């Protein structure tokens, strides 16, 4: 007997398909964040310590290119799912490619570093937008559990990242880079095994293509896919051989512009050429504001893996007392640099249930802030974290090591902002997108992560260790810009709340 989505409560009151997606994403995020946390540290480490010896500017640009590409590739990933293979296969094949990328890194970290990054980015672009879209597809159109389901799913992401930081941080400090990067491959393997044995619980309308090509159009699409992959392989081989020389900093600047143009072009194409109804267009305007808030948010938040990571390594007092549990049990004399990023994951795991309940209880009391207002609040709260860093970096600029609580406080504020914005934004895309463009719109939304990440990488390159005096002003600029954007979006939410309601009425 087929269980209706609205009656399925087998996973903490949510559909059983959420269980499969929860654990698959948890292990995929373990592999992703485990590697991401190490990237800038590995690239800026000296050759004598088995690093790559890059400058901070170069490492920041490469970090931005990688993390930006991870999410940019969600656009073709969403298209492949919608048009050719469906969400179920997209997640499976994406996970396999990610696993292969981690294996390549573990085999030869020095020589195959960029090949491994490209494989992981490609696989994540196929998996990430589709697994996020599938979460919303486990629910009916008017199912009130949707926002709560995304909050629960988001907690799974952060359990994965918590495991990642603990494991890779310890391995990097005590065993070396190869073991730390290799742990990510093991995490992805566990996620694939879990997905293979439990994917039968997924809702049927989330596994097949939503708007598939047929006949000659399907053949043409596959030809285009194969040709694109072949060209990419040729470019990678030529670059690896040194035939093509790439300047990461210049490329990052060009790609940032390209990502932004693609976002506006793709969003505009669906809006003007997608044969949308009037209510669908109103929802798209509300969704556009959510996307702007998201891009600005991630450009600040993603300093965690770059400038904040380097701040933890170089300007934070990480020494452990001789009698601490970490010293006596694990032989650690200092807090591993990567462990500071645990703060974000730990705070999310603790606070997620409260935020999931908050939106439901507010709705019961007829207090239901719009998606755009929630996102604006999240953006402003995140920005206050950089005001904390502005004060902490003033001590660092004087040559002092600052207490760990400065970074922990910053991560707490970033976490609160993230919980106000990120799961809410994912839910907004699922609910406000035209149904026939669900996968592609999730890909367009994930493109805001690309824009934010690559800008974050470029910003982090300005944190020159030889010019520490400039650090406070850089953090202050990020804070003030984010607050200004948040205020503008909050004012526009007075109008956008009606666009969102019109969309809901149209679906009902």
Q: Tell me the per-residue pLDDT of 436-453, one tens digit each, with 9 for 90 and over.
A: 787 678 778 878 988 999
Give the number of other Cβ atoms within 10 Å of residue 91's Cβ. Answer: 29
Least confident of 1-15, 314-328, 400-414, 425-439: 1-15
| Better-predicted residue by pLDDT, 19 or 300 | 300
User: Cα–Cα distances in Å, from 249 out to 60, 245, 254, 461?
Assistant: 8, 12, 9, 9
Place of tokens 């209706």: 4
Q: What is the DSSP letter of 45?
A: S
Asked whether the predicted pLDDT for residue 507 surpasses 60, the reply is no
| Model confidence band, residue 298 (pLDDT cutoffs 50, 70, 90) | very high
Are 419 and 155 spatial neighbours (Cβ–Cβ below 8 Å)? no
Instruction: Kindly state whether residue 5 falls inside one of the protein's structural domains.
Output: no
Residues 372, 75, 246: CA angle, nearest 5 degrees: 115
pLDDT tens per residue, range 70-115 = 888 877 888 888 788 887 888 889 999 999 988 888 887 777 888 8
How high is the pLDDT of residue 141?
66
Task: Give the tokens for residue 79.
Answer: 């298209």
Question: Cβ distance 72 to 447 under 8 Å?
Answer: yes
**Mind spelling out the 3-state secondary structure of 240-279?**
HHCCCCCCHHHHHHHHHHHHHHHHHHHHHHHHHHCCCCHH
Instruction: Give the domain CATH number at 279.
Output: 1.20.1250.20
Between residues 475 and 203, which one has the greater pLDDT? 475
- The model's confidence at residue 177, banded by pLDDT at 50, 70 and 90, is confident
Residue 98 has a pLDDT of 92
Report whether pLDDT(9) > 70.
Answer: no
178, part of any domain: yes
pLDDT tens digits for 210-231?
A: 778 878 888 888 898 899 889 9
Is 219 inside any structural domain?
no
For 260-291, the pLDDT digits (tens) are 998 999 899 988 888 788 888 888 888 999 99
Model confidence at 183: pLDDT above 70: yes
The percent of residues above 70 in pLDDT, for the chain, comes to: 91
Query: What is residue 366's predicted lDDT score, i.e. its pLDDT?
Result: 61
Q: Would residue 49 be called left, alpha or beta, if left means φ above 0 and alpha means ψ between -120 and 50 degrees?
A: alpha
Q: For position 74, what pLDDT does the model report?
A: 79
pLDDT of residue 388: 95
Per-residue pLDDT band for 7 (boundaries 50, 70, 90) equals low
Q: Residue 165 pLDDT more than 60?
A: yes
Please state the φ and ψ torsions of residue 293, each to the nearest 5 degrees: -60, -40
Position 346 scores a pLDDT of 86
Assigned domain for 271 exists: yes
Of 53 and 11, which is predicted with more confidence? Answer: 53
Domain membership flag for residue 457: yes
Residue 120 and residue 139 in contact, taking contact as beta carbons nearer than 8 Å: no
Length of the chain: 508
DSSP 459-484: HHTT--TT-GGGHHHHHHHHHHHHHH
pLDDT at 411: 93
Containing domain of residue 173, as a range? 12-212+247-507
Residue 176 has pLDDT above 90, yes or no: no
Cβ-based neighbours of 134, under 8 Å, separated by 6 or more: 17, 21, 87, 91, 202, 206, 207
Instruction: Check: CB of residue 470 under 8 Å from CB of residue 390.
Output: no
CA-derived radius of gyration, the chain: 22
Position 3 scores a pLDDT of 45
The percentage of residues in the chain with a pLDDT greater than 90, rounded to a whole number, is 19
Domain count, the chain: 1
Q: What is the pLDDT of residues 320-354, one digit of tens each?
A: 777 667 676 666 778 888 888 888 888 888 887 78
- pLDDT category of residue 476 using cuts at 50, 70 and 90: very high
Query: What pLDDT shows up at residue 181?
Result: 86
Asked if residue 106 is part of any domain, the answer here is yes
Distances, alpha carbon 371 to alpha carbons 122, 150, 184, 448, 491, in Å: 30, 14, 34, 16, 13
Q: Cα(438)–Cα(436) distance, rounded to whole angstroms?
A: 6
Six token digits for residue 428: 């907004």
- 491 CB contacts (<8 Å, ≥6 apart)? none
Sign of the dihedral defined by the CA atoms of residues 411, 416, 417, 421, in that order: positive
Task: Tell me the two tokens of residue 22.
Answer: 């929860």
pLDDT digits (tens, 9 = 90+) for 35-84: 888 888 888 888 777 778 888 888 889 988 998 888 888 778 888 887 88
* Residue 409 scores a pLDDT above 70: yes
Residue 3 located in a structural domain: no
| Dihedral sign, Cα of residue 332, residue 334, residue 338, residue 342 | positive
pLDDT value of position 2: 41
- pLDDT level of residue 6 (50, 70, 90 thresholds): low
CB 182 within 8 A of CB 365: no
Predicted confidence (pLDDT) at residue 381 exceeds the cutoff of 90: yes
Residue 251 in any domain: the answer is yes
Matching residue, tokens 């994403």: 25
- For the beta carbon of residue 245, count every other beta carbon within 10 angstroms: 6
Query: What local confidence, expressed as pLDDT, does residue 506 receive?
Result: 44
| Local confidence band at 429 (pLDDT 50, 70, 90 cut-offs) | confident
319 DSSP β-pair partners: 334
């Amino acid at each position: 007997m087929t269980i209706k989505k609205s009656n399925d409560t087998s996973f903490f009151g949510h559909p059983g398909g959420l269980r499969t997606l929860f654990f698959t994403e948890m292990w995929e995020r373990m592999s992703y964040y485990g590697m991401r946390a190490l990237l800038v540290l590995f690239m800026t480490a000296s050759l004598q310590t088995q690093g790559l010896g890059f400058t901070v500017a170069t490492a920041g640009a490469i970090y931005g290119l990688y993390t930006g590409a991870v999410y940019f590739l969600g656009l073709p990933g969403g298209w492949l799912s919608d048009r050719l293979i469906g969400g179920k296969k997209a997640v499976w094949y994406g996970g396999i490619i990610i696993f292969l990328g981690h294996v390549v890194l573990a085999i030869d970290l020095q020589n195959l570093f960029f090949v491994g990054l490209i494989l992981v980015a490609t696989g994540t672009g196929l998996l990430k937008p589709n697994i996020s879209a599938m979460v919303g597809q486990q629910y009916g159109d008017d199912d009130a559990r949707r926002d709560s389901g995304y909050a629960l799913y988001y907690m799974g992401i952060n359990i994965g990242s918590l495991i990642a930081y603990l494991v890779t941080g310890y391995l990097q400090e005590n065993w070396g880079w190869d073991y730390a990067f290799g742990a990510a491959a093991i995490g992805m393997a566990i996620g694939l095994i879990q997905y293979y044995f439990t994917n039968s619980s997924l809702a049927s309308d989330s596994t097949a293509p939503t708007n598939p090509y047929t006949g000659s159009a399907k053949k043409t699409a596959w030809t285009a896919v194969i040709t694109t992959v072949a060209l990419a392989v040729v470019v990678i081989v030529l670059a690896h051989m040194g035939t093509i020389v790439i300047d990461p900093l210049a490329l990052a600047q060009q790609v940032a512009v390209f990502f932004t143009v693609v976002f506006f072009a793709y969003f505009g194409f669906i809006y003007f050429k997608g044969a949308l109804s009037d209510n669908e267009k109103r929802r798209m305007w509300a969704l556009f504001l959510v996307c702007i808030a998201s891009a600005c948010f991630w450009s600040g938040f993603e300093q965690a893996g770059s400038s904040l990571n380097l701040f933890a390594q170089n300007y934070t007092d990480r020494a452990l007392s001789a009698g601490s549990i970490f010293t006596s049990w694990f032989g650690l004399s200092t807090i591993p640099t990567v462990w500071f990023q645990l703060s974000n994951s730990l705070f999310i795991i603790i606070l997620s249930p409260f935020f999931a309940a908050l939106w439901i209880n507010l709705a019961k009391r007829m207090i239901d802030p719009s998606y755009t207002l929630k996102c604006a609040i999240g953006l402003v709260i995140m920005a206050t974290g950089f005001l904390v860093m502005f004060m902490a970096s003033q001590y660092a600029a004087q040559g002092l090591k600052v207490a760990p609580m400065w970074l922990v406080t910053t991560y707490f504020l970033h976490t609160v902002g993230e919980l106000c914005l990120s799961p809410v934004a994912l839910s907004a895309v699922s609910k406000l997108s035209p149904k026939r463009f669900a996968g592609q719109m999730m890909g367009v939304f994930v493109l805001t992560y690309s824009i934010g990440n690559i800008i974050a990488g470029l910003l982090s390159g300005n944190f020159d260790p030889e010019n520490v005096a400039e650090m406070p002003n850089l953090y202050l600029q990020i804070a003030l810009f984010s607050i200004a954007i948040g205020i503008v979006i909050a004012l526009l939410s007075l109008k956008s709340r009606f666009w969102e309601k019109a969309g809901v009425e149209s679906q009902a």
